[in-house]
């Protein structure tokens, strides 16, 4: 499996969609993200105030 680096803009879009109530599956389909775990991690970082990790 090829390693993918997502842009900060994509990560911020994930957070915006999650705040609006979109499901993880919807987010993954719309933004072509391969891993549910990746979305979960970004959301966790956002909730914990660790957006510098983006």
Select from 12, 3, 40, 10 the least CA-distant residue to 25: 40
Q: pLDDT per residue over 8-53, tens digit each?
A: 999 999 999 999 999 999 999 999 999 999 999 999 999 999 999 9
- Domain segments of the chain: what residues? 22-46
More confident call, 1 vs 51: 51
More confident call, 3 vs 11: 11
Residue 1 has pLDDT above 80, yes or no: no
**Who's near 36: CB < 8 A, 6+ residues apart?**
24, 28
pLDDT at res. 44 = 97
């Amino acid at each position: 499996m090829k390693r993918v680096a997502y842009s900060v803009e994509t990560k911020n879009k994930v957070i915006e969609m999650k705040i609006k109530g979109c499901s993880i599956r919807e987010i993954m389909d719309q933004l072509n993200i391969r891993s549910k775990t990746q979305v979960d991690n970004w959301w966790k970082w956002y909730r914990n105030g660790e957006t510098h990790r983006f």
